[in-house]
Amino acid sequence: MRPLFPNRQTIFITLLSLVSSFAVAQMKPGQKAYMYLIYHKLNPGLTIQDALPVEREWKKINQAAVDEGKLIGWYMTVKQFTSNPNQTEYDYVTRIVSPEMAMKGASPEAMARIYGDSVQAKMADLQKRDRMTAPVVKIEIWEITDGTFAQNFAPDNTQMMVVERMKRRTPGADYDGLVGQIKKLAEQRVAQNNLTGWDFSTLVIPNGSEKGYEFSMAQYVTNMSAIADPVMAGSGKPIMAAPAYKQLRKQIDQTFDVVRQEVYRFMEYTTPKGK
């Protein structure tokens, strides 16, 4: 039996009341961002193709919120590989990036432009189709704390996203300096077209010791060779000398335990306002 979650429209309303108070590339320098990961499991016998009409409708709604400056972006990412022993826990993840921890959906005026005078009926139908196709089985909220991206970064020129969920081997150990080194290497890799982007996030909710991970690091690549040869050693002009990279890898392995690794491809996504 799957966990029961409220529908997505209810999630938006709930989060707004809680805080009455690829994505970094579209953020302003110094701007804070929160990333909602909404995990979906296809109902028996259904495929990603069955989920696309539902997600494309959510895309329209979230694009309206992006156009109004309420969201930074929305992305549908489909799982390709996972180290998760439960291979069928979820099939795809929608990512919503917001400048606030409380997500703000499209305004009533924008919803009326999409659905006319049938907003409530259309939303009820969408929620029903959503549950019948790929119910939500898990939700996480992350703070995107750092990142670097190519100037022309966009999901359509990034084939895959390789994600590592990590925890510190020593609880409470400092990691800022090491992440700074990893970012510096990522910047060089982006400059050499080995990566299209990289980011580092911290889990906010739910964050308990039983969770198993507390950080997430993502590499955005056009092909898997960038993962196999991250310093371009095979190019004859390596980004970093082999001994230096070996030492960096040793520091990473001593500091972080990669609890889960997954590969996703982008399927649907919003575009920044004005583009």
Q: Where are the domains of the chain?
A: 8-140, 146-264
Instruction: Report pLDDT for 154.
Output: 82
pTM higher than 0.95: no
Torsion, Cα of 112, 113, 118, 123 (10° steps): -80
Q: How far apart are the C-alpha atoms of 235 and 229, rounded to whole Å?
A: 9
Residues of the chain with pLDDT under 70: 1-31, 274-275
| CATH fold match for the domains 8-140 and 146-264 | yes
The predicted pLDDT at position 19 comes to: 30
Q: How many CB atoms lie within 10 A of CB 203?
A: 20
CATH number of 146-264: 3.30.70.100
Return phi, psi of residue 45, to 5°.
Answer: 85, -5
Burial class (CB in 10 A: 0-12, 13-18, 19+), 129: middle
- What pLDDT, on the 0 to 100 scale, is given for residue 97? 94
Closest CA to 56 of 265, 268, 275: 268
User: What count of other Cβ atoms lies within 10 Å of the Cβ of residue 190?
Assistant: 19
CATH 3.40.50.150 fits 8-140, yes or no: no
* pLDDT at residue 236 in the model: 80
Q: Give me the pLDDT at residue 152, please.
A: 82
